[in-house]
Chains A and B, each alone.
Chain A
Amino acid sequence: MSFAHDQIPLAADAATGPSRAEVRDFVTLLKPRVMSLVVFTALVGMVLAPADVHPVLAAISLLCIAIGAGASGALNMWWDADIDAKMTRTRGRPVPAGRMEPGEALAFGMVLSCGSVLTLYLAANWQAAALLAFTIFFYAVIYTMWLKRWTAQNIVIGGAAGAFPPIVGWAAMTGSVSVESIVLFLIIFFWTPPHFWALALVKPGDYERAGVPMLPVVAGGDETRRQILIYSVLLAPLGVVPYVMGFGGLVYGVVSVAAGALFLLLAMRVFRVRTGDAAVKAARDLFAYSILYLFVLFAALLGEAVFAVPGV
C-alpha cells in the first residue's frame, strides 16, 4: 500500500534523507539505566521530605525529574557523538551508529528539557523546576560541553549533576532545600569519582582513544588508585551521616556502616593490586559493588520511611 505522503520532496531532506531512527533509539537517548538511578534517588528525597503532597502530584513530579534526566542524556549523546563513536562501550549509540541524525537527538533533548521543567513547575513549584533546569544545564553544558574534554576532574565536578535528584525531589515536595537533602547530594557526589574511575581502570583504552582526559589516561593508574582510595575514605563515614543526623534509623545505621566498610575494603584492594588480570578484576568488582552500595543505602532510607511505625 502506498500513500502520496510516502513520497517526500527531496528538498526538505536534502541534507539528511528520511529519518532511520526507531522508537527504541529515542528510548536509548534517555539513558534508561542512569534514569532509573535518578528516579530512585529523587524518590528517596521526596519520601524523606516532611510534606503533605498528594501522591498523584508527587508521581507527576517524579516523572518530570525522570524525563529531565533523560533529556540531559539525549543532549549528552548529541554533543558527544564524535567521542562516543571511538569508544567500544558507546559506539552502538543511535547517533554514532548512524541510525539517527544529531539534529534529531538535539531537538528531542531540548523539547524534553523544556517540557519536563515547565510541567514540574505546574505540578510542584518554581524552586524544583529551577533546580531541575539547573541540573540539566549542569550536565549538558558544564559537564558534557566543558569539563569532560578539558580536565581530569571532569567526573568529580560533573558528578554534581547526578547528585542533584534528591535535592530536586525534596524541593518538589517542600519548595526548599534542606540540610538532609544536601547530605544525600554529598553521598552521591563523593560516590561518583570512585565509581567512574573504577570503570575507567577497567577500560582505559576507550577514553584514551576518544581523547577524554580521564584520570587514568592523564595521571596514570597509580594516581587513580590513590584518588579512588581518598574518595572512598571520605565516602564511607559520609554514608553514615543520615543516621548520625537522625533522618536515617537504626537499620540504615547498620547497613551504612557495613556497606561502607566493604566499599573501603574493595577500594583498598584496587589500591594494592595494580598489575595483571587481578587488578582489572579488583577495579571491576569495585565498579559493580559501587552501584549496589548506593542502591542499598538509599533503599534502606526508603524502606525505613515507607515502613516506619508512627510514633516510634
Chain B
Amino acid sequence: MAEEPKKVVLTEEQQRRRRTRNIAMAVILGGLVVLFYILTLFKLGGNVANRPM
C-alpha cells in the first residue's frame, strides 16, 4: 500500500492571508469580466447596427 503524502497544515494566519488573496483574485477576475465587456461595447459602438445583414 502506497504511503500517504505528508501534509502541511496551514496556521490561522496563513489561512487568513490565503483567504484575502483569494478574495482579491475573485474581485480582479470579476473586474476583468466587466472591463472587457465595457471595452467590447465601446469599441463596437454603433457599428453593430451598421453591419451588412
Instruction: Indicate which residue in B8, B15, B24, B39 contacts A10 across the interface (CB closer than 8 Å).
Output: B8
Q: Contacts A21-B17, A23-B21 given; indicate if A13 touches B8 (C-beta within 8 A).
A: yes
Q: Is the interface of A mostly helix, strand, loop or mixed?
A: helix
Bound complex: CA of A303 vs CA of B7, how far in Å? 59
A10:B43 contact, CB within 8 angstroms: no
Interface residue ranges of A70-95 to B (CB < 8 Å):
none
Bound complex: CA of A21 vs CA of B25, how far in Å? 13
A52 close to chain B: CB less than 8 A: no
A8 close to chain B: CB less than 8 A: yes
Q: How near does chain A come to B27, taking the closest CB pair, in angstroms?
A: 10
Bound complex: CA of A122 vs CA of B35, how far in Å? 11
- Taking beta carbons and an 8 Å cutoff, which residues of B are in contact with A? 5-10, 14-15, 17-18, 20-21, 24, 35, 38-39, 42-43, 45
- Taking beta carbons and an 8 Å cutoff, which residues of A are in contact with B? 6-11, 13, 17-23, 26, 54, 56-57, 60, 63, 119, 122-123
| 14 pairs, CB–CB < 8 Å, chain A vs chain B | A6-B9, A6-B15, A8-B10, A9-B6, A13-B8, A18-B8, A21-B17, A22-B21, A26-B24, A57-B43, A60-B38, A60-B39, A119-B35, A122-B39
Supply 14 further A-B pairs (C-beta < 8 A) apart from A9-B5, A10-B7.
A6-B15, A7-B10, A8-B10, A9-B7, A10-B6, A17-B8, A20-B14, A22-B21, A54-B45, A56-B42, A57-B42, A60-B38, A63-B35, A123-B43
